[in-house]
Amino acid sequence: MTSNAPMRILAIGAHPDDIEFGCAGTLARCVQRGDSVVMAVACVGDSASSDLSPEELAKVRSAELKNSARTLGAELIEMGLLDYGVWPNRETAMLFTDVVRQARPDVVITHGNTDYGSDHNNTHALTLDATVAATVKNVVTDHPAVAKVPYIFLMEPLAGYGFNPHVYVDITETFDVKLRMLQCHVSQMEWMTRYGGFDSCKYIEIAARFRGYQAGVTMAEGFIPHQSHGRVPCGSVLP
């Protein structure tokens, strides 16, 4: 499948800023080619602060997330779960299913199942199930069933442990969008620097240049296509 028609792309991340780290450059390429892009974020990001209460931090991170989505030109769905609250139960499964129905995607980008933390790994499992459940009319949620199961691509986890991409997207021309989106998440960047000595902006540049070196371009993001019945495209669906 090689499509010149606009597509609908859904990126599902566990927390505010996960999408920015993993696939924002690719999403910007999708916007460039005329696709409709939806960012869905499972958790409110209420845990990573020693100065703000969970409720205060959730408000800050929601505002940062909205700025990031606005920078990309994407629709945003905030799913409202607490951090460490992505669990594989029926209520959460129906929440994920309804998000897929609301977005009506041709392609979904999400976490893999060997990432750090339950929120990331359970987001992977719930997304896989939701993309199938979303097509089943007898599974009732707020939005109607969709007609087809979307293709799924798994984005690189932080630091890339055990991640060997099968597909690369050249983000040389859209890295600046990825960087500006990440820079919207001021509170998280400060937290990661304070408690882990982690320079988020430097990291995404190093990772993009490394994947670019592998792909023979200046900067790239790598993905692993999820392969199961009905999910293997003929040709390319990413930019």
Structural domain harbouring 19: 8-225
In order of 25, 29, 191, 204, 217, the CA distances from 173 in angstroms are 9, 8, 29, 14, 11
Q: What is the pLDDT of residues 96-147, one digit of tens each?
A: 999 999 999 999 999 999 888 999 999 999 999 999 999 999 999 999 999 9
Tokens 């929601």 -> residue: 62
Answer whether 16's CB lies under 8 Å from 58's CB. Answer: no
Q: What is the pLDDT of residues 140-175, one digit of tens each?
A: 999 999 999 999 999 999 999 999 999 999 999 999
Please report whether residue 3 resides in a domain: no
Tokens 């500006």 -> residue: 180
Please report whether residue 1 resides in a domain: no
Q: What is the pLDDT of residues 191-210, one digit of tens each?
A: 989 887 899 999 999 999 99
Please report whether residue 50 resides in a domain: yes
What's the domain count of the chain?
1
- Checking if the pLDDT of 2 tops 50, the result is no
Answer whether 108's CB lies under 8 Å from 131's CB. Answer: yes
Angle at 13 between CA 9 and CA 14, to 5 degrees: 160
Residue 194: the pLDDT is: 87
Q: C-alpha dihedral over 17, 30, 128, 137, to 10 degrees?
A: 120
Please report whether residue 230 resides in a domain: no
Tokens 């980008």 -> residue: 109
- CATH code: domain of residue 203: 3.40.50.10320
CA separation for the pair 173, 178 (Å, rounded): 10
User: For residue 86, which of 14, 192, 176 has the smallest C-alpha distance?
Assistant: 14
Q: What is the pLDDT of residues 70-110, one digit of tens each?
A: 999 999 999 999 999 999 999 999 999 999 999 999 999 99
pLDDT tier at 225, thresholds 50, 70, 90: very high
Please report whether residue 47 resides in a domain: yes
Please report whether residue 191 resides in a domain: yes
